[in-house]
Structure 1
Amino acid sequence: MTWLRRHTLVWLSQAPEAETDEDRARAAAWQMSGRPFIVTRRRDDGRDIGLGFCTTDPAHPELRPRRVAARTDPGRIVRDARPPGLAEIARCPAATAKANSFSRLISAAASAGVDIRVYGSWMWQALTGERHVHEASDLDVVIDVADLDAAGRAAAFLAAAEQDLTFRIDGELSFPGVGEVQWRELLQDKVEVLLKSVDTLKLVPRSQIGR
């Protein structure tokens, strides 16, 4: 299961499985709308891949969106894509109130050569047009990095860029073929870091990632 990474968007040939009747109905409606699911982590030793999506209640938009867990056979994936880029997120109407911060971050990332991808509530807001973000929402980012040195530079960039923004930056650095590490954790002086991937969740020596 190494060809799929966490945070990858996937479109399916049929609705995925879910744990309850209510969530199966939500998954079926989501599939019918042509919306993508996001790859998470496998929850068992089977072939199925873990998926997630986030729904709102049109009758009660003030309620917190519901995160739904699902799963599917990888053979049902017909298309995949990395999460949307920062510029796409900045174009959604909800970003208007934070336009200056998004503009500063886009400019800083371009200057630093950092490709920022966005998942979480801001991604769902941009993809669906429904209300997923609120005033205190973090910006969840994922940045692909080639090795530990590149990861250190990306983490330092995020720490510096965040100082000029009106929102907090959360998220991960992705080592293709290896997994993801939380960017703030990478800045800490720890021998081991928590590595997440489609297939695993474990503490590993930082010297072993991105070699």
Structure 2
Amino acid sequence: MTLARHDLLLVRPECWAGVLARAHRAGWQPGAPALQPQARKLVAGWAEQGWPVIVRRLAACETSPLIAVGLPLPPSLGKQRIALEVAPQEVLDSLAGVHLGREIGSLPPRLAPQLGDVLDLAHACGVAPRIFGALLWQHLTGLEYVHGGSDIDLLWPLGEATDRNRLLGGLTAIDETGPARIDGEILLASGRAVNWRELRDGLVAGAEGTVMVKTLEGVRLECLQTLFN
């Protein structure tokens, strides 16, 4: 099974209790506050609801051969991120990423003009951005994840013909004039990802610099001169 960060996986409902028990035996979120009863109930029924988990990169202390995944609690239940691990045989299916589109009814109306500008930019640059973060989880679960201070989190998969400078310049303009902060990552063909602001700032500073690159295995610095090779 070939996976990348942000992939969405459905866990077999009959395996879910075992997934949670495994996390509990491993220390159940070391250093994190204990889950409140309502949060425990939500997590316990997560797979039965047909909601996915999201593939994440391994933490520095993790060495398990299992698939590292997670799920976030909504802000009303503490906004805690629950780190879990699943075995390949516990995965029922994978879900396609959710592309940003005007048809997504869970997006707040106040964001409509800004999101329209994002879609226009995406069309002009030939890119189909996917949502993640609060927008994604509200869309998938119907629970209230988006609030007044929520960012617009987007994944931008680059193609060979994508005008990177136009995309980064457009994102900067929309970010500066809209009501919400535009956050997210530029996805390279190799599966590596770079925060769009860090990439913009690095390119402005000069190609001799470095930028933080995220992969499923971890985070590392890479030279801008070779990033797109």
Are residue 166 (structure 1) and residue 166 (structure 2) matched? no
1:83 partner letter: G
Q: 1:80 to 1:155 in 2, by over 3 A?
A: farther
Are residue 11 (structure 1) and residue 25 (structure 2) matched? no
Aligned to 1:48: 66
2:58 partner letter: R
CA RMSD for the aligned pairs? 2.8
1:195 touches 1:204 (CA, 8 Å); kept in 2? yes
Where do 4+ consecutive residues of structure 1 move more than 6 Å? none
Q: Give the whole-Å Cα distance in 2 for the aligned partners of 1:7 and 1:36.
A: 11
Q: Residue 211 of structure 2: which of 188, 193, 196 is its match?
A: 193
Give ranges in structure 2 of 5+ residues lacking alignment.
29-33
SS, match of residue 108 in structure 2: helix
Q: Deviations over 1:46-70 (max 9, x none)?
A: 311211112238xxx4x54322111
Q: Which has the larger radius of gyration?
A: 2
| Structure showing greater relative contact order (alpha-carbon pairs closer than 8 Å, 6 or more residues apart) | 1
1:148 touches 1:210 (CA, 8 Å); kept in 2? no
Equivalent residue pairs, number = 205
Q: Give the whole-Å Cα distance in 2 for the aligned partners of 1:80 and 1:146.
A: 23
2:114 touches 2:174 (CA, 8 Å); kept in 1? no
Provide the TM-score with structure 2 as the length reference. Answer: 0.77
1:194 deviation in Å? 0.8
1:199 partner letter: E
1:53 touches 1:67 (CA, 8 Å); kept in 2? yes
Provide the TM-score with structure 1 as the length reference. Answer: 0.83
Q: Residue 113 of structure 2: which of 85, 90, 100 is its match?
A: 100
2:10 touches 2:94 (CA, 8 Å); kept in 1? yes
